[in-house]
Amino acid sequence: MDSNIESLTNLFEKYTADSVFKDRVTLTPEYVPDEMPGREDEQNRMVEALSILLDPFRPVAVNIAIIGPAGVGKTTLAKRITKDLHSYAQTMNINLDTHYVNCHSFRTKTSILRRLVTDGFSNIQGRGFSDEEMMEMLAKKLMRENKRIVLTIDEAGMLKGEDILGLIHMNELFPPGEGRFSTIIITRRQQWSLMLNTHLSGRVQDQINMPRYTREQLKTILEYRARLGFFAGVLNDEVLEMIIDIAATTGNARHGIEIMLRCGMIANAKKSSVITPEFVRAAKNEVYPELRPDVFNDLKINELLVALAIATILSKGGGAVHTTINEAYQVYKMYCETYNVKGQSKATFRIYLDNLTQLGIVVSQVKPMPDGSRGRRSIITLHDIPAIIVKERVEEAIKRKLKERMN
């Protein structure tokens, strides 16, 4: 064997041998666990609502919504159930496809339709067709192949209610009483209330509310995830209780799982075979439960630069409490020059800002003028995440994005 490869193999072997992780992947955000303790009721309700799709004689469509705060298993439950639904349909000889889109990446009805068209027709890109044309193509294909589709629309708050309604309207292209296009709409609660201003609510047959987890439920969940991820003896009961206590303050399972993952990484870095309370304390300060860890990767370069501008202003010196649109816009333009990205107009800048607000990264509020004079002004601040952390993560994401562009 080449000596280079040999030493690398040794290194990997050594690393794997020394690791506290039995299966590290099971603690990463993408992993979908086989079991979801504490979500039995919600699971049953979803299965019940979706079972109508398994009528072998008549294709019918349903729309269901899953609503709840961060980290309560909305995405995971939808992914698990659609996977099972797909396999079960196969055993019944029902032609049913499941698709998943996250609206952080797919932000318009058009981009979702393009994805469906690209997935469904191997030689068509979807570009150059209107939404109506794409819907017709899809509908024809579904009829020709006697197929049904279930589309999971995650983080649907990024879309307008009318856009989702527009997708659902595809069912009008089928004969009366028939439906082939079903949706599972996932949002956090505040965004759902905004979307309900449309006629969407009338089209949603079942709304499943997923509350925060109780401490008891988190205990079961985190014990289960620790068993999957770590070797026995790495995380003792007392230390695990500390993590459960922290996660119980938010009722967010991701909070606890991310802390466990980081603790394991710290243990490996320090060459410790156990996780100590000190590791938990350190990990706790690096984990922000409201923030999906990959949220920055889905942002466009200009949005990243806007976030960077705001985080820079707010982390300067002792850290400013808030900033204004004018100030943030100036710093944004400066960063555009630094990174050689074409700067956008102030109106477009405001759109980026709105997107960041919707994602829960920044907060923009309209306040009275500080000097008591007439009029109001918009102020911008960051959500619960320290500005310096946002700055670090955004800078990493920018670097990644620019590198991708060069390749």
Ligand X SMILES: Nc1ncnc2c1ncn2[C@@H]1O[C@H](COP(=O)(O)OP(=O)(O)OP(=O)(O)O)[C@@H](O)[C@H]1O
Chain positions contacting ligand X, by CB under 6 A: 29, 33, 36-39, 68, 70-76, 188, 221, 225, 253-254, 257, 292
* Smallest separation (angstroms) from Mg ion to the CB of 12: 32
Q: From the list Mg ion, ligand X, none, which binds 180 (C-beta under 5 to 8 Å, kind-based)?
A: none
DSSP codes joined into one string, 166-214: HHHGGGGGSPTT---EEEEEEE-HHHHHHHTTSTHHHH-SEEEE-PPPP
- Nearest distance from C-beta of residue 11 to ligand X, angstroms: 29
Region of 230 on the Ramachandran plot (φ > 0 left; ψ -120 to 50 alpha; else beta): beta
Nearer to ligand X, 66 or 382 (CB): 66
Smallest gap from Cβ 268 to Mg ion, in A, equals 28
Choice between 37 and 126, CB closer to ligand X: 37
* Residue 316: partners with Cβ closer than 8 Å, 6 or more residues away: none
* The entry of Mg ion, ligand X, none that residue 37 binds, CB within 5 to 8 Å by partner kind: ligand X
Classify strands 148-154 and 181-187 as parallel, antiparallel or unpaired. Answer: parallel
Residue closer to Mg ion, measured from CB, 154 or 398: 154
Closer residue to ligand X, CB minimum distance, 136 or 223: 223
Stretch touching Mg ion by CB under 5 A, among 37-45, 68-76, 95-103, 171-179 = 68-76
Closest chain position to ligand X (CB):
73
CB atoms within 10 A of CB 76: 18
Closer of 72 and 328 to ligand X (Cβ): 72
Q: Are 134 and 79 in contact (CB under 8 A)?
A: no
User: Which residue's CB is nearer to ligand X, number 138 or number 259?
Assistant: 259
Smallest distance, ligand X to C-beta of residue 381, A: 21
Minimum CB distance to ligand X, residue 33 (Å): 5
Report the residue from 38, 39, 63, 75 that binds Mg ion according to the rule CB under 5 A.
Answer: 75
- Output the six-digit token pair for 61: 């469509």
CB of 64 to Mg ion, least distance (A): 15
Q: How many CA atoms lie within 13 A of 227 on its CB side?
A: 9
In order, the DSSP letters of 20-70 are SBS-GGGGSTT---S--TT-HHHHHHHHHHHGGGG-SSS----EEEEE-ST
User: Do the strands 148-154 and 96-102 form a parallel or antiparallel pair, or are they unpaired?
Assistant: parallel
CB of 186 to ligand X, least distance (A): 7
Cβ proximity of 47 and 81 under 8 Å: yes
Q: Which residues pair with 64 in a beta bridge?
A: 184, 206
- Does residue 147 contact residue 27 with C-beta atoms inside 8 Å? no
Instruction: Give the three-class secondary structure for 121.
Output: coil
The residue sitting closest to Mg ion, measured at its beta carbon, is 75
Residue (of 337, 336, 341, 309) closest to 325 by Cα position: 309
Binding-site partner at residue 38 among Mg ion, ligand X, none, CB < 5 to 8 Å by type: ligand X
Segment interacting with Mg ion (CB under 5 A) among 72-80, 306-314, 346-354, 361-369: 72-80
Q: Give 69 or 166: the residue with its C-beta nearer to ligand X.
A: 69
* Minimal distance, residue 394 CB to ligand X, in Å: 19
Nearer of residues 120 and 289 to ligand X, judged by Cβ: 289
Q: How far apart are CA 234 and CA 130, in angstroms?
A: 56
From the list 67-75, 264-272, 321-329, 367-375, the region that binds Mg ion by CB under 5 A is 67-75
Residue 322 interacts with, from ligand X, Mg ion, none (CB under 5-8 Å by kind): none
| Residue 148 or 254 having the CB closest to ligand X | 254
Shortest Å, Cβ 155 to Mg ion:
7
For 86-109, the three-class secondary structure string (H helix, E strand, C coil) is HHHHHHCCCCEEEEEEECCCCCCH
- What is the Cα–Cα distance from 341 to 375, expressed in whole angstroms? 34
Q: Which residues bind Mg ion (CB under 5 A)?
A: 75
